Amino acid sequence: MATAPHPDEEATAADGAAMLGPEVVRLRQAKLQSRVLYANPVCMLVTEDKDKASGRNVNNDGLVMLSLNRRRYSCGRVLATRKFELAVAGADLAPLLLRIGKVTGRDTDKFVAMEGVDMEWRPVRGETSRCELVKGSIARVRCHVVAQNEDVDAGHVVFFAQIDDCLVNADAWNGKQFMGPCGLLSFLGSQEFALVKRFPDADAEKKTDAKQGNAAASTVKEEKPKACTDPAQSFGAE
């Protein structure tokens, strides 16, 4: 179910990506597609082996696992269609993310019902998807379900999906890593979000410390946040 090459793509086989015009990049390698969803906490998997422990980093390769409440309308749609799309939200969309779960799409268009939501859908020529993106999204990940488990939790369905297509804002992709212009959102729970930002360059920190006569300093200086109000930073903005 992989997406066929688009006639407008400028292939860059070296990094598994292709430019789709000046603003959008299509990621083709599974390991690169997975990086769009890396904003979750970094974890190490630790196992026991006789008298020692063994550990490694947890990673994925173009696969997605998610759990949906079986009573929710969205869960029913995924069960029926076996496909879904993930819109990676920019920092400006945090308030919308808190509102979206409070409105059902069963009997109404929830984005219309919430009011004030700027829908911006720029279909790529030849696309068949009917999903719309909210302005402020910085990536779109299209997936199809390969397996599901309904035995783990009676109230939820666990879906395992394969990434079929991944489009990201060009200014959020440096050729090998995904990072929104203003950082990435991570959810802490209890209606609280955190902003994930790139760790400052170690060499730059050393030079700064040397100039200040404090080469031994090890503190990480906080970066000045970049304003996120420019519409051009939103996915598909013109």
Residuewise pLDDT in 10s, the chain (238 residues)? 445 544 444 444 445 666 665 678 888 888 888 888 776 666 666 777 777 766 666 667 788 899 999 998 889 989 999 998 888 888 888 888 888 777 777 887 777 777 767 766 554 555 555 566 677 788 888 899 999 999 888 899 999 999 998 888 888 888 888 887 778 888 888 888 888 888 776 555 555 555 555 544 444 444 444 445 443 344 444 3
161-180 b/e (C-beta count within 10 Å ≥ 16 → b): bbbbbbbbbeebbeeeebbb
Asked if residue 236 is part of any domain, the answer here is: no
Q: Which residue has the tokens 């666990």?
A: 158
Cα angle, residue 97 at apex, residues 96 and 100 outer, rounded to 5°: 80
CATH of the domain at 153: 2.30.110.10
Residues 129-154 have pLDDT tens digits of 556 667 778 888 889 999 999 988 88
Model confidence, pTM? 0.68
Residue among 147, 39, 49 at smallest CA distance from 86: 39
AA letter at 41: P
Judge contact between 190 and 51, C-beta under 8 A: no
Number of domains observed in the structure of the chain = 1
DSSP 3-state of 26: strand
| Domain coverage including residue 37 | 10-46+57-220
